[in-house]
Chain A
Amino acid sequence: DGGITQSPKYLFRKEGQNVTLSCEQNLNHDAMYWYRQDPGQGLRLIYYSQIVNDFQKGDIAEGYSVSREKKESFPLTVTSAQKNPTAFYLCASRRYNTEAFFGQGTRLTVV
């Protein structure tokens, strides 16, 4: 089935660690996005990519990094520079000017 897959579903990070969240899609979409959601809040854009080997910062990119080496994959690394990383992370993909398809999310907790 076509879709977008995030892994893992739950992730625990120790202070000072970098962690990487996976996002894979087989929808042949050019654009991919990472959003952060805090409890009771909307989605805030971290990074997006419109084409392979190119990506742009969103509203809250500090403390995060991404890569787009393949069309299907857009991993997000939460670095130790992100001081408040506990949140629900959502990946999405779409064709230009159309609806987005979301993964089921990764819940990251700092322990």
Chain B
Amino acid sequence: SQQGEEDPQALSIQEGENATMNCSYKTSINNLQWYRQNSGRGLVHLILIRSNEREKHSGRLRVTLDTSKKSSSLLITASRAADTASYFCATDFAIGADGLTFGKGTHLIIQP
């Protein structure tokens, strides 16, 4: 099935820096969602952006969506050690079966 693909697969930055992760997908979507997963735990929803939206903010998170390029980005500003986790994008397709389709994720490490 179609999957979102995150880039990079891994990212290591210093605390206080900004972290940017990208997601590309292949077919039309209703919405795109970003999730966070701490090691060995379930996923936690961060932001949902609908296909008619271009940018959305939540605290230190900023998500953009470019439907013409079929891509999205997640920016975490002023990173903290507690932001260390894996981040996944999930696409909710406009046509076809229900169910969010996940990429393989970006593993983010924040160095103190």
Chain A residues packing against B (C-beta within 8 Å): 6, 31, 33, 35, 40-45, 48, 50, 56, 58-59, 88, 90, 92, 96-105, 107
Contact = CB atoms under 8 A, between A and B. Distances in A.
B100 interface: yes
A97 B42 CA distance: 20
A104 B42 CA distance: 4
Given A43-B88, A98-B48, A104 B102 contact: no
B102 A58 contact: no
By secondary structure, the A interface counts as strand
Contact of A103 (B31, B42, B97): B42
A64 to B, nearest CB: 15
A96 B81 CA distance: 34
Contact of A42 (B41, B44, B105): B105
A31 B105 contact: no
Top 6 nearest A-B pairs by Cβ distance?
A102-B42, A42-B104, A99-B45, A43-B102, A42-B102, A102-B43
19 contacts: A33-B100, A40-B104, A41-B104, A42-B88, A42-B102, A42-B103, A42-B104, A44-B102, A48-B97, A88-B40, A90-B42, A92-B43, A92-B100, A97-B92, A99-B45, A100-B43, A100-B45, A101-B45, A103-B42
Given A97-B30, A101-B45, A103-B42, A42 B3 contact: yes
